Structure 1
Amino acid sequence: MNSSAQSLRGGLRVAVLALLWGSTFLWIELALRGLSPLQVTFVRCGLGALVLLVACYTTGHRLPRGAAVWRHIAVAAFFCNALPFALFSLGQQTVDSGLAGALNATTPLWSIALGLALGSERGIHRVRLTGLLLGFAGTIVIFAPWQTTGGAGWGALAILGAAASYAVAFTYMGRTLVRKGTPTISLSAAQLLAATGLTSVAMPVGGLERIHPSLTVVTAAVALSVLCTAITFHLTYRIINDEGATNAAVVGYLLPVVSVLLGAVVLGEDLGMRVVLGMAVVLLGVWMTRRPAPANTGKPARGEADSAEPAVGEPGPAGRAAVAGVLAGAAPAPAATTLPGEAR
């Protein structure tokens, strides 16, 4: 497969992921009309796990084995599923879905900050860093939080905590779970199953309240679980596996664009020039972050790493060779299993 085909496939995967993930905040807000935050989290994890388990077994795969891998899965399930899902549901009790999308778009910055703290993001090039900053600036322009009277306080902090948790999870998953020979469908199913178990432990605290089901609430819960959790989570795993943790986090910058467009098309919300400008800045930033690093033809530029150590979420030489094999359709490890909406 040539590089242009690989780029097209990766771009389509990112677009599908952004569309599904970007609708998450709308479905959460609707589900909260009849469920408590913890109930939304439990249903989201449980039904999502069921969908992925069915997909896993019907495609001839099995759940991972071994205590070591399940310890990694449990840690990833906490930071990537149980904790951020609960924080989003808690935060959106006082934060509207648009602002939640903007705050979630800080995930790539948290990812870079974590990489810098760990000393593994020394090789980030200037174009990509500029793209990350442009993406964040674009989200601020879209939602203009200085014009928002509500949504501040603990709700906004909860959403920021969820975004930071995602960054921790993506880095951890990239280092401990992907490219280890286990199919991504098996890993994603196992992780949501573990998240369901973690959430069930907390149910006595705030998950036994009376529910108020309605067609809207049930539809929102199913869409949130199947589209925005099961399929989206599996696509995220594939991007981490194929392109690295930071590229997976970058998808978060497209979420505000998606939520604004959904508001305009579905709810008839008005698109002003500020919003259009902000979306253009976001798209430019995402394009810049997805550009490959420039070839090192001479002495490293000042401030850039001169070592061979890869940046956070990016494979080293052996990892790049393995990923190249996966992208080329070569065999088995990890096996490429697709769900609806994912390019093979």
Structure 2
Amino acid sequence: MHNKWVYLFILSLIWGSSFILIKKGLVGLTDYQLGSLRIVLTSLFLFSVGFKSIKQIQKKHWFWIAVSGFVSSFFPPFLFAMAQNHIDSGVASILNSLTPLATVIVGIFMFRILSTKRQIVGVFIGLAGTVLLILAGVEFNNNQNYLYSSLIIIATIGYALNVNIIKKHLTDISALAVTTGNFLFIFLPALVVLFYTGFFETILQSREMQISAIYVGILSLFGTAIAKVLFNKMIQISSPVFASSVTYTMPIVAVLWGVFDGEQFGILQIVAAAIILFGVYLSNRRAEKK
């Protein structure tokens, strides 16, 4: 089935661009405002198109829908916004590439989902390519506070949990139902956080906040609402490791954004991109018969 490669390409493009949108959003908004506004806007988008799909969700699904929502869609937007106040958006996208490794580890130890040796090798090759990409771009990132990278690592563990939860417990309902159900649980907590940040009191007075809010709106519609549905669908039609491999290809898009912004893209970055894609290919290989 080649559809998963189409999903991988589209998601790489959308999520690879999301880090620059977060960076633009943080110009006029605080990290808590950005994280909560992103969730609230995404919820409104999803409720408008996905509300009818909720009837697919049965009693046995609701617990896993809730857990999936918090670990993948509530905490990560705050963690990424907090981290990107201190580290570069390109670094954030590269650190996000730890997700496939976390997916394998979480799958083995918590969900008894076995990965083949080939898949695990693919994960480590992809990680090697990611390290090379970091080294190739280190001249742009030598003033970053890497202590905040731990927040992104925590987010990748949340993503890994989500991938395995969907594959283990939620493949019998549509991706739209899963995503809309996720945001049913996290909408109100996010709205409460947004209210207490003073967002509604100051947005009308600040032109800078309004421009940043537009960037967050774009991020919410494409980077969260549409992308989450596509990603959940990709999990259902592929393996957890392949689905999480989108985080390998995202840094390539992030680097390309840098090229458009006047940064240099050399031979070493091209080599790193090729290694990353080879890792994705190996992660996608069919499970060997036991």
Per the TM alignment, residue 229 of structure 1 is displaced from its structure 2 partner at its CA by 0.4
Are the aligned partners of 1:63 and 1:189 in contact in 2 as well (CA < 8 Å)? Answer: no
Provide the TM-score with structure 2 as the length reference. 0.89
- Aligned pair partner of 2:147 in 150, 154, 177: 154
Give 1:125's aligned amino acid.
T
| RMSD of aligned residue pairs (Cα, Å) | 2.2
Are the aligned partners of 1:45 and 1:193 in contact in 2 as well (CA < 8 Å)? Answer: no
Deviations 1:223-256 (A, max 9, x none): 1100100010000110111113222211111111
- Aligned pair partner of 2:216 in 221, 232, 251: 221
Q: Which residue of 2 aligns with 1:332?
A: none
In the alignment, the residues of structure 2 paired with residue 271 and residue 161 of structure 1 have an alpha-carbon distance, to the nearest angstrom, of 29
Provide the TM-score with structure 1 as the length reference. 0.76
Equivalenced residue count is 283
Map of 1:12-31 to 2, 5 A cutoff? 12-31=6-25
Deviates more, 1:126-135 or 1:149-158: 149-158
Q: Which residue of 2 aligns with 1:128?
A: 119
Are the aligned partners of 2:100 and 2:241 in contact in 1 as well (CA < 8 Å)? Answer: yes
Map of 1:1-344 to 2, 5 A cutoff? 6-7=1-2, 9-57=3-51, 61-64=53-56, 68-118=60-110, 120-122=112-114, 124-144=115-135, 147=139, 148-179=141-172, 182-203=173-194, 207-208=197-198, 210-211=202-203, 212-214=206-208, 216-265=211-260, 267-294=261-288, 296=289, 306=290
Per the TM alignment, residue 68 of structure 1 is displaced from its structure 2 partner at its CA by 4.5
Larger Rg: 1
Q: Counting helix residues as a fraction of each chain, which structure ranks higher?
A: 2
- Bigger RCO of structures 1 and 2 (CA < 8 A, at least 6 apart): 2
Aligned partner of residue 245 in structure 2, secondary structure: helix
Are the aligned partners of 1:62 and 1:186 in contact in 2 as well (CA < 8 Å)? Answer: yes
Change beyond 3 A, Cα 1:270–1:174: same
Per the TM alignment, residue 65 of structure 1 is displaced from its structure 2 partner at its CA by 5.2
Unaligned runs of 5+ in 2: none
Change beyond 3 A, Cα 1:72–1:26: same
Unaligned runs of 5+ in 1: 1-5, 297-305, 307-344
Give 2:217's aligned amino acid.
V
